[in-house]
Amino acid sequence: MSTQKVAFITGGNRGIGFETARKLGKLGILPVIGARNGAAGQEAVEKLNAEGIIAESIQFDVLNDADYAAAYEYFESKFGKLDILVNNAGISHEGEPFAAIGRPHATSGLSREALRDTFEANFFAVVFSTQALLPLIKKSEAGRIVNLSSNLGSLTLHSDPSSQIYAVKMFAYDASKTALNAFTVHLAHELKDTSIKVNSVNPGWVHTPLGGSVAPMSPEEGAESSVRMATLDADGPTGGYFFLDQNIPW
């Protein structure tokens, strides 16, 4: 079994996922990038290698059950464990958050396809792929599971007229992140007597294709919350919802 810590970052070939891989690599952790497109994953590895960071990649489509099995085989045969799982990959079919403000019929007019596709990628895929890899995380001395949520998943903030996100209503995306938060709470409870910690993070409003062009944060800044939760000490929290060191209300 490998003594070096190994991290798997889904959707790690670009944006927040790539910066998460970079930051973990600089800490001496081996980042393995999961990318839907194998060539894109390899290109990301080459960028990290050019910075002196040892990294690897595997093809991983979060909607493909066969990739779950292949990922399990890869980590089991090569490392005998998985120390860190960052469930970073996610989608939105509802445009940029800023553009969602005041959009008519944003909820009542949402298509079944958009709602179901969003939940498949942002919720069901995270649950099922985590279930598939959990036996390997249990072999780690201190497993860490980080679920990329959003402050848009907070029902408390969405129902508070004084909240900064009150007017930003993207029903499919928001609800998928709320459901993901529920998975965090339930899995953390199941694993509360183990050394594994499970947390949701809000990366912040990040300038990515999903976050939009007017978002104020860089992907590098957006990766910070994930890295903090991925490298928690033994006395760190579990079953929480964080932006950096701040608790977010459910």
Cα-only R_g, the chain: 17
Q: Look over the chain and give the mean of its residue pLDDT values, rounded to a whole number.
A: 93
Tokens 């965090």 found at = 184
Which pLDDT band holds residue 94 (cuts at 50, 70, 90)?
confident
Kindly give, in sequence order, each residue whose CB lies less than 8 Å from that of residue 214, ignoring residues fewer than 6 positions away.
96, 98
Is residue 196 situated within a structural domain?
A: yes
16-30 per-position pLDDT tens digit: 999 999 999 999 999
DSSP conformation letters of the chain: ---S-EEEEETTTSHHHHHHHHHHHHTT-EEEEEESSHHHHHHHHHHHHHTT---EEEE--TT-HHHHHHHHHHHHHHTS---EEEE-----SS--TGGGTT-TTTTTT--HHHHHHHHIIIIIHHHHHHHHHHHHHTTSSS-EEEEE--GGG-HHHHT-TTSTTTT---HHHHHHHHHHHHHHHHHHHHTTTSS-EEEEE---SB-STTT-TT--B-HHHHTHHHHHHHT--TTS--S-EEETTEEPP-
Is residue 81 situated within a structural domain?
A: yes
Which pLDDT band holds residue 210 (cuts at 50, 70, 90)?
low
31-79 per-position pLDDT tens digit: 999 999 999 999 999 999 999 999 999 999 999 999 999 999 999 999 9
The answer, as to whether pTM is greater than 0.85, is yes
Tokens 């990959």 found at = 89
- Residues of the chain above pLDDT 70, percent: 92
**39-53, 83-97, 132-146, 231-245: the lowest-pLDDT one:** 83-97
pLDDT, residue 159, reads 98
175-208 per-position pLDDT tens digit: 999 999 999 999 999 999 999 999 999 987 665 6
pLDDT, residue 30, reads 98
Q: With 70 as the cut, is the pLDDT of residue 241 above it?
A: yes
| Mean pLDDT to the nearest integer, 109-118 | 96
| Mean pLDDT to the nearest integer, 107-121 | 96
DSSP conformation letters of 142-177: S-EEEEE--GGG-HHHHT-TTSTTTT---HHHHHHH
Amino acid type, 68: Y
Which pLDDT band holds residue 150 (cuts at 50, 70, 90)?
very high
Amino acid type, 151: N
Is residue 11 situated within a structural domain?
A: yes
Q: With 80 as the cut, is the pLDDT of residue 95 above it?
A: no
The CATH number for 148's domain is: 3.40.50.720
Report how far residue 246's alpha carbon sits from residue 24's, in angstroms, rounded to the nearest whole number: 21
Domain that holds residue 183: 6-247
Is residue 1 situated within a structural domain?
A: no
The total number of structural domains in the chain stands at 1
